[in-house]
Structures are given as C-alpha cells and as structure tokens.
Structure 1
C-alpha cells in the first residue's frame, strides 16, 4: 500500500511540474510568434491515471463494461461457446496477478486437476516471472510486449494537408496527449503492430537448473527455484526496498547466484522449505542458513559501494567537461544562427506565402517539451545532483549513512535503529515469500522504513520471532484514502475528500502539499525515494468511519468488498449444475478436470435474458445466453512445490553451451563486464554454429570517439533527425547502433564530413560553414571493436543509402 501511495504521489508531482513547464513553453512560443494548437482543458475520463485504483467511479464503470463484453462474446461468438470466464474486478481484494495465481494454486492442489493444463498470463510486470516459477508448473507461458522492439519502431507522423482552415478550426489537443489528433488524417493512417514475445517457464527452469547446479551435490530443481525466488527478494519488490548494495543493472542476480552456489554446502542445504509455508512462525525460512548466506553476501558490499562511487565521480567529471564544451559551442552558434535566420526569412518570403504551420509548431512544442522534461529527470546533467555527503564505500560510510538518513549519531542510537530495521526486513522477506507461495499472511503489515538495512547489518537473525496478525483487507474507499494524493481527491466521494484538506481533520498530515524526494546517489529523479508519512491504519479508519453515513446509495455499493463471478454459456455442461438455478441460496461444490470450487447464486444476474448495456452507443444484449454465479476458490490448501505426477515435460531445449558467463560487476575494472559464452567457437548465445563475420557500419561524422558504438549491418537502421530551423546540436558520439540508441546527440559540429547538414523543405539549404549538401559517406570495417581515442575515424568508402 505504501509503495502504491509513493508512486501515485510522485505521479501527481510529475504531472504538476509538466503542466507548469508546458505553460512556460507555450508562452515562449507565443513570444516568438509561433502559433500552436490550444490546450484542451476539458475534463476527460482518464485524465488522471490515479483513478485506475479500486473504489473509483471509473473502475466501477470498467467492471460493468467487462461483464458486458464477456456476456456479449459468450452469447454470440462461436469460439466462446466452451469458454468459462472468472471475473475478479477491482472490488475483489488483492492484486490481479496474485488473484490469478491463487486460483491456479488452488486448482492445482485438487485431485481432479489435469497436470498438463496450460496457462498463459499476460503482462509486463517482472513479478509475473517469479510468480510463474513459484507455481512449479512447466506448462506456463507469459505473453509480454517486446518493449525494446516496440520503442525502435519509427513514429507515425500524420500531416495536415489542408492549410486553409484557421487554428480555431483545428481540434483542440492537450500537449501531453500527444499530437496530432486530426480525425480525417488519422483515419487513413495505419498504427504499428505491437510486437509480442513469449517467455516459456519450462525453458527458464532449464536455464536455472544449469545456472544453479552445485558441482558434487545432488539437487532438487524445484527447491533450487524456491531459493532463487527468495534470494531475489533482496533486490527489492513492491513490498520491501532492495538492499543498498544490490542493483539489478549491476548484475545483482549474478552475484546472488554466485554467493548461493559458494555457500550451499556451508549453509547445510536449501534456505526455503515451502512444505511449511502455512507455519504461523515462518518456519518455512531456515534462519541460520539465511544468515550464513547474508554474511557471505556482505563481504562484497564495500567493493560494490566503492566501485559505484568511483564510476559516479568519473561520470560527473565527464558530464562537466561536455557541458563546458557545449557552452563554448553555444556561443559560436549564436553568431552563425543570426545570419542563418536572416537567410531563412528571405527564403520564406520568396518561396511560400502559406500561413504559419500550426501543426508543425505544435509538434515542435511537443518535442521540445519532452526533451525539457527528460533533461530535468537527469540530475547529473542538469546540475541538480547534490554533493555526496555519505560516500558509500569510503571509511566511515555506515555512520554517515545513519546520521544523514535517520539523524542517528551515537552508536547506541545506530544500534537500536539497525535492530528494528533488520527485524522488520526479515519479517518482510517472510511475508513476501508466503504471499508468493500461498496467501496474504497479514493485510495490514508493511515495512516502516524508506530504506533497507545493509547486508552487513543483517545478522543475529535468530533472536527475532516472526509472526503476523491475521486481519481483513481495507474497503475500497479506505484504500483510496490510503494511496491517493490530494490532487486526485476528485476520485473520492466529497465527504471523504474533505478529510484530506480540512484543517480539523485528524489525518490531514498524511497528505502533504509538497512531496520530499530523496535523490541521494541517484542519477534520475524518478529513482528517488518519496518520503511520505506512513499511513496509520487505525487512525485512518477512525476518521473515515465518521463520514460513512454521508455516502449515497450508489457510493455505498462502490465501497463494498465483492466476490469473483464465473460466467459461461447456458449450453455448457457445467451450466446444468444446481448452483446456477435462480432459487439456489447455498454454496454448492463443483469438481471437474477443468475447474473446482464453490458456487452460489449471482443476485445481479439478469432473469429475462436482457442485459442492459453500461456503455453509451452500444446496444443492450437482448438474448443473453450467459449464466453466472459467484465463485469461491476451494478452502486454503498447502501448495505443491514440485511437478505433479503424470506431467509431460517438454523436451530439453537448453544445453551447457547456451549458458553465458561474465565477471562479477564489482570485480571488473570497467562499467559493464563482457559476456562470454561457455563455448569459445560460438560468437552468440545459443546452440547455433559460429556466425560468420558481418560488416559493422557507422556513419562518418557522427562520433568516432571511444564512447560511440557501432552496430551490425543487419541490425542497423539509419535514423536521421530532421529539423526545419537551425541545426542539431550536441555531440555526434551518441550515434545509434544495434543496441538501439538513436541519434540523440545529433550530427557532429564542425566540418560536417558527410551528412552534417540541415534539411529545409522548399527553402534550399541553409547553414553555416561547410554544412552544405553533400553525398553522405559511411565508414565501415569488419566486426570488431571501434577504435578508441579522440577525433573521428576516417570517412572510409562511400556507400549508397
């Protein structure tokens, strides 16, 4: 809950800052005589993303729309005739992926369950991978959008061909919508298809078995997977922060696996025993073994901090040098641009009498706004990074940390703080493990600190007794009060929203007007820690209970906790069950190879075959052939953390030659250690034969410095950036390659050998110095490392594009 709260407060703060930045830029464009599309401040249904939270009116409408869609498909589509749908809307407590996994675990524990049932889960959340592994099912796939490929697809720009209308006749668009939204033109365009990918759990299990096998030890792959999931909790999740020395981008998972394999024999075996997952005192975690593992992990802590500190200082020095160079270049640009602007105005007056292109100006505003907002996120480049007073890794770093973050100065204060943090963090590890493998041990538990303890602080763990208070989840409006910022108070009933702002309110301190964000040690603003007051649930409930009586009837309905609903076609064999009869009032157990659970009557089900459409302009379902009932999972049972009998395991697809290794991040002298395959004659990962050398291509004049990157010819796409006014500034060494980096730095300043010119439609070439129209040249060389050093590489041989 506190994680959700922090995200929503940060989102509201970012939106407010973006609104301010947009207003400033619009005023700047107006002063420059650039007409842009007006902002549309009309209220929109999803103008505030924070309304996508249980209990809001939007989520109530979404629930009704989902049921309408399911009933329409079941009633009319032939491919849905045997489909059974369980609808678990926002008023059913729990996160969506965890509700799905609870259903799968419960079904899997039933005798009637088919062990070869296949499951596919859609979503981008990395937690889905861990949850799928925790199910111990091989026939499990995760459907994901291929974000990397999707981000590299070219943007579709919709031109406005008819310039006869005025700006007032153009559709109003909110800048961060984004542009343009011109119905006539957009209807003719084609949206790019989203690329998808499957992550097959049975393949991932094979990789983990090869990665985590300890030589000379018998192993149980399912228990190794359980331990892998558990130790990965140390890298952070939605419930506990990551240990400070563990960052995913620093290959923390590699380190965890390496330490685990090193300590397996010394620990005495596995850390986790999920057969005891229901134990009230968390016996499912072997505390003594965990402590040995953490001690070994802590030996790497200072080395990680020291390398991180050195890389940070090196990067800051580099950015400062670049900033100084850019400032010098800016002064030179000013003189040249004054001359270029005169020539440009002459070209405009001679070549065209068209009105100012409002759409182009608006698109320019959009680009500039996005660039400005992105620049403000980079604390290193915009100079907002504060002096590092803690200096993790240098002598005395731990004392400085506790003094800076908590105000603890004496050794006794630090000791008491460490003890409390360690106990709560250990509770958090046990809480998350049970949540992933069984159920919610306590709805009210939370980790009450902004930061995790250091690995070296996680010791003497056996002194702590772990237990959780069994309680009930919050009702929707109480949850909204716990997570929404004041800027989103419109999503609440008025009687509740007043509690956020009223000075007499006993919970007003939970809603600060300004959000403090700790960005120490972070490069980007979004990485900062939101320092919000933690919610006192008892105090919150005592305040909301005083206003419940003021709720309207429809609001009372929104504030109820509901049950899942199962829907199926009335011709289904399961439909003959007595639980679907209108007169049924008791729960009835059903048990088939497809589904097991308890059913009871759905009091909201239509009785005359008519289901009213909750969506304007969509028709009612006049011949509803769907029946529904309330669905209850079987009673809580112990999860089965192994493969079921009679499961058909797919043929192995991974061999030792597919495993890639690399040095530990903190032991390698550079920022990123190279990846090496186990088989020296194979260039790439996989079982394919060694690949033939290919041509590596890089554009001349776009940065031949050591920090530039080439890309393989087959994977390289030239993406030129075009600008109507002026030149692309910056350093050309930001040229992109197979790693997907675009020409963000722009063309290299100066001589402009091959291609450093500015495109101008209809006005001829304008520019400075030698930036005239030339044939673009490309330098090439066989696969290898591009030479480091200052300056650009030779222009090479010409290539046609």
Structure 2
C-alpha cells in the first residue's frame, strides 16, 4: 500500500489521531515521567525503517552520508537512542529486522532492487558527465569518495552487512543494559535477519501470542515504530486497546514549523473511535447488533483492494482519488444486501475458508465496480487538464532565457574573499544540487515527453484495450480466459493477505503471478473459487538474494553464487502508462523460476566457507535481560550442575509473572559441539600439560576415563581449574607454565573469525567469555564482541590477552585463587566463592560481584565471586544456549526466544 497516499488520507480524514511527539534533548534515566504524558510499556522497532535512512539519508535530513559500515552502525545506534528517549518503554523493547520474506513479497522486493540499481547507474553516469563538464569549465570539486555503502541493496538478509549489523546490535544491547539505567528493567528481544519473516509481521506474531498467554495484561500500552502504512492496519488487527504508531513526519503541514519533533504519534485507539462512527451501517438487518471489532476487521479487508505489498491494486482504485472513501461508502450502503460481515477472523484457523464469506465479497466488489465508468471519466479529465497545464508551463519557460541558478564568482569580485577550499566546497555543492535537479526532472514523465496513455480509461472500449496492452490478448475468448484466471489468483491473494495479517504466513511459496490486477467489475464468479494453501518453507537467505538482487549487486553474494548471475545488463521495461512519474510505473521483470533457482543453488551450498554458512542459516530470536531481574534468575536456575535443563527437554518455559508480562520459551542448543579432525587424544597425551609441570600426577588414562568427569580429549578433565568442565576444543600443543597454549589451525579455523581471543595462548581458547554474542555456529563456536572494556586489567589472570570481558576469570569462579589465577571450583550451581588474592583484584579494588554461568556443551556450571569492573556485570546466553558471566549487575542474553504456540 502506498505509504504517503494512505497515511496522508488518514491524517487528513482523521486529524485527531496524529499528534506531535514531545522530544527532549536531555537523556532520561528511566525515573522521570514521560513528557508525552503517556507511560508506554512495550516498544517495537520495525528496524528496516531505521536502517534505510541511516544507510542512505536524504539530503534534507541534515545528516552526513556514511561511507563505511561503522558509520552506518553509529547512525543506527543514535537513531535507536533517540526513539527510546521519546517513547521511554518500561517493560519491553523488541527489535525486528526483515528476514527472508514470503514468496508473495519477493516480487515487490525484486522490482524495487532492480529499479534501485538502474537508478543508481543512471545517476552515476550523470555525475561523471557533470564532473567532466565542471573540469572543462575550470571548476574544481572534491573527488568522488569511495564508499562501502553505495549499494543499498545489501540491506537484504544473508549479506555481510546484515550479518555484521546483527553482531553490532547485540554488542550495543549489552552495553546499554549494563550501563544505562533506563535499559536496566527492559527485556530486549532481537529478531535479526536470520529469523525468517518481515519485521512488522514478526512483531505482530509476537503480540498475538502474548495475548493468548495466561497472565497477559490487556491494558499493556504498545508503541510500534516504522514508516510503512500497513503498520496501521496491522495495529488495528491486533484489537489491542492501547496501541500507537510512531513515525517520522513525512507530510508538509502548516504546523510543522512549531512542532517540537519531526516524529508523530498516530494513536490507534482514537482511529478506532473514528471508524466506529464512519462505519455506521445505513440500513440495519433485522435483529442485527453491530460488533465494532468485526466492522474494523472488515475495514482492514476492504482496504486490501486499494493495494498492498502482495497484490497490485486494481485499476479502478487509487488512494489519492478517494478509493478508501468509496470502499467505506459502498460497504455501509450495501451491508444489508451483502447479508452480513465479509470476514470472520475467529475462524481464521479453519481449513475450508470459513474465515471469509466469498459470496458476500463478490457482491461487495461488484457494487464497487458499478462506479468504474464515472471514476475513469473523472480520472481522464484530470489527467488531460494536468498535462495541458504542464505543457503550457514548459512553453512559457522556453520563451525567455533561463536564469543561472548556480553563478560562478568572477575573479574580479568576491572570489578573492574565499580561499581555494571554500571555492571547491561551493562547486561541489553546486554539483550535488544539479544532480538532485536532474533526478527530479528525469522522473517526471510529463516534462520528458514520455507520456503514454495506451488504454485511455474513460473512452469507450477501455476494457478491451486494457487486456490487449497488459496481457497481449486479441480475442474475446482469450480475454475471458485471462479474466477468470486473474480473478482466481486475486481471490487467493485476498485470502493469503487476510491470513497473513490476522494469523501467520499461510504459504511461503504462494505468489500472485501477474503484474496487473483485474477490474472491480471483473469479479463475477469469485465465490466459486476454492482456496487452499500449502505451507511450504521459506527460502534460505542466499536463495532469496539470488531471487531479488540484480547482477550489479552480485558482490553481496558468495563467489560461487555470483557465477550464476550471467547477464550483466539485465535490462527491463517500466510501464508508465497513465502515470506522472517513473517511480509510479510497473517494472515488467520476469517472475522467478523457483525450481530452477533452488536446484542450482543446492549444488553449490556445500562449497560455502564456515563464515558464509553462518550467514545462510536460520536462527531464533534472542532475549536479553539484566542479571538483577527475576527472569534471569528464573532461567539460570533451570540448569543443573551439568549445564542441562533440570526438567529435561530442550527448552525452558517462561511465564508472564516473573518475566514482566512476556511468555514463551528459551531454547538453548546443547548439541552444538563437533569433534575437530586435527585434535586427537594422542595429540594431547604426547604433550606435557601445565598440570604436569606444576607437580600434578598425570595418571589419568584419557582413553578410558569416566565421561561424567569430562569430555574425551579434554586437557582439563579431573584437574582443579576455574572452568574444569568446559571442553577446550581445538586446544592442545605447547602448554606453558601459565596454563596457556597455542590453538591448532584446524580446517574449522574460520569459526574463530571475529573472536578477540583467537590466536592468543589461552587455556580456554574456544570458551566465549561474557560479552560474546554473535551466536554459536554449527561447529559450536561463537564470536566475542569487542566491548569498551577490552584489554588487560591489573590482577586479572587473563591479563595481556584481548578479551571482551577482561575482569572475569573465564567461566565460573572458585575459592583460594592462587597468584596464577587458578583455584578450586564449587561443583554446585549455587556454591559460593571464597576469597580472592592479589591476582584477581581490579585496579581500583572495587567491590566484587557474583556471576552465574552455564555452558553450551552441557557440562558443569559453577558459581562464585569474581572481581567486577566498577561493581557491574552481566550474564549472557547466546542464541542457542550457553551462559557466560560478566560483572555483577549487568545484562544477560538469556537465550533464544521461541514464540508460544
């Protein structure tokens, strides 16, 4: 659905729904009341609405365009901080990034990305031309800046950018929870691009499931940030009492100059009251009692006819021409003749289509079709009037010499007042202005003399001309055949969108197979269609990249996949028939041959590197909480001494009460350790270990030891170590007196990419110390985020090693730490630590906190006192499990979040 059109229509028709957001410059600590006079509980971020403006900000945003990924990430973090400062949620922050989309959405994604690539190429060619022209005229400009963010198509699941963004967001969340008081009470859920589904629909799925859980508070106040107009419909579909949409103000309004913020709240509860009045039935059926909730459901459904992201809008209806007003008018006037409501979402899960009354829908849309002739005649008159006015303006401009909008200062006047750098700056600014003007004029079909109106709506014979131009049919028989097929597929699409908005993805593989929709008057026989969907599976990230990216964006794919993109030109037509601007046209791209695509990519998946394989995986959402919260204790207490869930199974159920009104499952992955081919028991037996060097009797037979005391090949098995039950995978040779050794460069060494501990002689090289968060890969390893506290610290047994949490002694703590940082470990999960000696103190001798831990290997856990960085710390459990500790009073990534069923 067109974002500007629908939002503009709604804001104009229901002005009281939109209010300015009060935005203060002072950073809040969570204790002061919200200046917007509403205390919000949950904030949901449709992250793609944040990522795009931070990646390629508009020139009017007064934001410098980034040239590196790090600059983009900084922009995103600042943007999130700003939104948090406006909304100030008290309970939950949910960040949702678009994952792999359903097949029905990929057609639109493919069209947008191909058009973006084509526009970028045209703009680059024009910039090169202007630069040469400026050079000839002697105008020096700043050189072209090489940028990693030139191609916004990398904002697609599976790319290196999206993978790195996920890791950076995890690090950002940890730092905020650990250090910012306003974040301390928040539960933060991150659903990144590796979790399938569109961001806004992942959010709605979460809300729907929370509503069904025992203990859910119906007075929860929700705020959803995003720019898409369909967020309004999705918010209405939740039937939540307190729901608001926060978005940037994209409208030019008279009051904008006095607005305290560019951000606007659209209060959905006020919109509900407006709709209750506007959807008042003109003539009530006998014994009929209106149900406001069902009227709103019908309103959402009839708006599908005006267009959405999955179906092309019908030629009959344009939002800016009053399409929604017409749909509402027909609905209220014809309600009695229809026989009742159009949809029944209470029966949404029934297989035989009981959720939609197709006979009533057919009556309704045919009643809309009765207005088609009048609509087309009015549209044609407006179109011709607008065209005459623009042509008249063009002729008037040609009658006199155009003023030079960008004068060059003469050498005899003011140029001497400016130094050379200032002159270059002015010339560069001039170049950018001319590029912007070129882009604007290039997109105007009228001014470029590219006007086409092949169908000529409003003139006799428009229906036949439409089918001939758009579907290449000549005979009435062929036209009828196409019409029936269009109606069948469009009816399927209506049902698909309805299910998607109110329940879940009905089919990952279904899509509408045409570029154009039928007329409203074409829906004869709609009710005879039978609609059944096959669920299917989502594409893998790299498969979707292959499906939606143009060849000019092939750099975002692994090398093997790039070879499959053979046509570097990829030219396509854009149908602007009857349109004013090129961006309103339809990209006539061929649809994806799914079977051919998947069979080709399946053959090359095996050649992916470990890092690329991680980018192509499907993962769960991640949950972060502060260690002082009850939820953290609830989760960690569910593990036994061996790091396994006490009640068995592979997930921990979370109820509403201790979790702050969220319910679901935390699902650790305990089977993620694979053997390494290059580290064998013989390798370990042949090397003198540090335990032997310090007088321990190495009499254990590693080939026959009791598995309950350690894993085969564990050099720490049976010894008094701060992390005795953690398998030091990949560790082996040349253990030195301080208990550190070199790590074998195994074929799986790619698993360590990004880990600050990689390559250092550490006794637990594969243990992800707290602060780790990018997720364990298939080989059971993870990456460590570089926190601001990385580096050495006095008294830390790990001093001198690059660890993201240098003041925590690996995993677990114990009593009687000797100068080398080793000591006894309490085998009980709830054991208490003893005293620390000099080797475990912080620089400032700050209070020592407590830290709990579990590990993904399913082996023992420990609890003890560890030195804390300024008395702070947090727990973290990576996406598939494992908990590492960091300084007392910090945050915890306590596992992968699985929605309740």
TM exceeds 0.5? yes
1:115 paired to 2:179: no
Give 1:133's aligned residue.
Answer: 236
Give the equivalent residue in structure 2 for 1:451. 516
Deviation at 1:512, TM superposition (A): 6.0
User: Where does residue 177 of structure 1 map in the other structure?
Assistant: none
Q: 1:18 to 1:199 in 2, by over 3 A?
A: same
User: What SS does the aligned partner of 1:500 have?
Assistant: coil
Q: Which residue is equivalent to 1:102?
A: 205
1:595 to 662, 673, 677: 662
CA positional deviation for 1:279? 2.1
Where does 1:198-209 land on structure 2 (aligned, <5 Å)? Answer: 198-209=265-276
SS in 2 for 1:629: strand
Aligned CA distance change for structure 1 residues 350 and 268 (closer, same or farther; 3 Å):
closer
2:644 matches 1:583: yes
Structure 1 counterpart of 2:624, from 557, 567, 570: 567
> Using a 3 Å threshold, how does the CA distance of structure 1 residues 114 and 354 change in structure 2: closer, same or farther?
closer
Q: Which has the higher contact order (CA 8 A, sep 6+)?
A: 1
Any conservation in 2 of the 1:227–1:272 contact (CA below 8 Å)?
yes
Task: Pick one of 544, 553, 557 that aligns with 1:479.
Answer: 544
TM-score, scaled to structure 1: 0.69
Structure 1's 529 and 287: CA in aligned 2 closer, same or farther, altered over 3 A? same
The alpha-carbon deviation at position 525 of structure 1 amounts to: 0.5
CA distance in 1, matches of 2:150, 2:160: 13
Cα distance in 1 for partners of 2:787, 2:589 equals 40
In 2, the alpha carbon distance for the partners of 1:20 and 1:243 equals 36
Preserved contact between residue 72 and residue 621 of structure 1 (Cα < 8 Å) = no
Who is 1:692 aligned against? none
Contact in 2 for aligned 1:570/1:627 (Cα 8 Å): no
Within-5 A mapping of 1:186-335: 195-215=262-282, 217=284, 218-330=289-401
The answer (yes or no) to whether the contact 1:149–1:195 under 8 Å persists in 2 is no
- The structural deviation recorded for 1:43 is 3.8
Q: In the alignment, is the contact (CA less than 8 A) between 1:68 and 1:613 conserved in 2?
A: no
Give, in angstroms, the shift of residue 215 of structure 1: 3.9
Partner of 1:33: 138
TM-superposed CA distance for 1:31, in Å, is: 2.1
Partner Cα separation in structure 2 for residue 325 and residue 152 of structure 1: 34
Q: Secondary structure at the match of 1:120?
A: strand
SS at the partner of 1:112? coil
Contact 1:10–1:515 (8 Å) recurs in 2: no
Alpha-carbon contact 1:150-1:194 (below 8 Å) kept: no
The question of 1:364 aligning with 2:425 is answered: no
Moved more, 593-602 or 5-14: 593-602
Distance in structure 1 (CA, Å) of the matches to 2:767 and 2:326: 57
Partner of 1:631: 897
Output the CA distance in 2 between the equivalents of 1:20 and 1:73.
43
Match of 1:7 among 112, 133, 147: 112
Closer, same or farther in 2 for the Cα pair 1:117/1:353, shift >3 Å?
closer
TM-score by length of structure 2 reads 0.62
Distance in 1 (alpha carbons) for counterparts of 2:542 and 2:419: 55
* Residues 1:92 and 2:163 aligned together: no
Q: 3-state SS of the aligned residue for 1:577?
A: helix
2:210 is aligned with 1:145: no
- Alpha-carbon shift at residue 615 of structure 1 (Å): 5.9
What is the 5 A alignment of 1:510-589? 513-578=570-635, 581=639, 582-584=643-645, 586-589=650-653
Taking the aligned partners of 2:480 and 2:340, their CA distance within structure 1 comes to 31
Distance 1:116 1:606 in 2: 43
Quote how far apart the aligned CAs of 1:30 are: 1.9
Residue 442 of structure 1: aligned partner: 507
Aligned-pair RMSD on alpha carbons?
2.6
* Contact 2:366–2:524 (8 Å) recurs in 1: yes
Aligned to 1:375: 441
Q: In the TM superposition, what is the alpha-carbon distance from 1:474 to its structure 2 partner?
A: 0.7
Deviation, structure 1 residue 281? 3.1
Q: Find the aligned partners of 2:202 and 2:392 in 1 and give their Cα distance.
A: 52
Give the aligned partner of residue 493 of structure 1.
558
Secondary structure of 1:424's match? helix
1:78 is displaced (CA, Å) by: 2.6
**Which residue is 1:63 aligned to?**
166
State the match for 1:609 in structure 2: 770
CA 1:139/1:341 → structure 2, altered by over 3 Å: closer, same or farther? Answer: closer
Going from structure 1 to structure 2, the CA distance change for 1:515 and 1:552 (only over 3 Å counts) comes to same
Change (3 A) 1:350 1:569: closer
> 2-side partners of 1:467 and 1:596: how far apart?
32
SS, match of residue 103 in structure 1: helix
8 A contact 2:154–2:556 mirrored in 1:
yes
Paired with 1:231 and 1:353, the residues of 2 have a C-alpha distance of 61
Tell me how far apart the structure 1 counterparts of residues 788 and 252 of structure 2 sit (CA, whole Å).
36
Rounded to whole Å, the distance in 1 between the matches of 2:253 and 2:539 is 38
Mapped to 1, the partners of 2:464 and 2:373 lie a distance apart of 14
Offset of residue 109 of structure 1:
1.2
Q: Equivalents in 2 of 1:85, 1:602: separation in Å?
A: 20
- Deviation per CA, 1:466-490: give whole Å up to 9, x if none: 1111111111111111111111100
Output one character per residue of 1:576-619: Cα deviation in whole Å (capped at 9) or x when no partner: 23566342362222222412212221669976434365469784
Name 2:227's counterpart in structure 1: 124
- Name the counterpart of 1:16: 121
CA distance in 1, matches of 2:294, 2:184: 40
Query: Deviation string for 1:172-192 (max 9, x for gaps)?
Result: xxxxxxxxxxxxxxxxxxxx9
CA distances 1:85-140 after superposition (whole Å, capped 9, x unpaired): 11111010000010010000001012221111111111111111000000000111
Output aligned runs, 1:639-718, within 5 Å.
Answer: none
Q: Matches of 1:288 and 1:277 in 2, distance apart?
A: 17
Distance 1:225 1:436 in 2: 13
Residues in 1 aligned to 2:352 and 2:303: alpha-carbon distance in whole angstroms: 22
Tell me the CA shift for residue 567 of structure 1. Answer: 1.6
Cα pair distance change 1:341/1:251, threshold 3 Å:
closer
Distance in 2 between residues matched to 1:459 and 1:90, nearest whole Å: 41
Superposed displacement of residue 513, structure 1 = 1.6
Preserved CA contact (<8 Å) 2:330 2:364: yes
Distance (Å, rounded) in 2 between the aligned partners of 1:447 and 1:257: 25
Provide structure 1 residue ranges, at least 5 long, that are not aligned to the other structure: 155-191, 502-507, 636-801
Question: Cα distance 1:33–1:597, how it changes in 2: closer, same or farther (>3 A)?
Answer: same
Q: Structure 2: state its 5+ residue gaps.
A: 1-105, 673-765, 773-782, 791-803, 807-872, 874-885
1:708-787 correspondence to structure 2 within 5 Å = none
Structure 1 residue 319 displacement after superposition: 1.6
1:32 is displaced (CA, Å) by: 2.1
